Amino acid sequence: MNIVTAADSGFFHCLRELAESVRKFYDKLLLVYDLSLTDDEKRQLDARIYNDYHLTKKGKILHFINTRHDKAIFEQLVAAYKKGKDMRKLFAKIKRGKVSCTERILGKLKSIFSN
């Protein structure tokens, strides 16, 4: 079992307490998604800090520490979630430019018939 959270500098005092409790009671590192912690705050935390995330098909989170994404993606994912949209598909489209098979076929058909 892992405990995962996200926080910015405004909640650092709570985050530090949570990280200490997770270490004390579960003997594990808290996994933290950095939403704008300062470098000094990151050094003070007994936690594993991520600046990046990817969603899998089943909604699970994979970590790729060495990559970076535009922070606007997070806002777009939250907005899509509130509208009931599939965040995983939206994320793939925003970040990677991926298009579904259906969208690819429709795009090809439009280009054929528009000429």
pLDDT tens digit string along 61-95? 555 444 445 556 666 667 777 787 776 666 666 55
Using DSSP, state whether 113 is helix, strand or coil: helix
Model confidence band, residue 37 (pLDDT cutoffs 50, 70, 90): confident
Across 7-44, b (16+ Cβ under 10 Å) vs e yields: beeeebeebbebbeebeeeeeebbbbbbeebeeebeee
pTM of the model: 0.48
* Token pair of 6 as six digits: 């996200």
Least confident of 1-15, 34-48, 90-104: 90-104
Mean pLDDT across 11-21? 94
User: Residue 86 has what DSSP assignment?
Assistant: -
Helices H / strands E in the chain, number of each: 5, 5
Backbone angles phi, psi at 27, to 5 degrees: 55, 40
Mean pLDDT across 108-114? 83
- Is the predicted pLDDT of residue 106 greater than 50, yes or no? yes
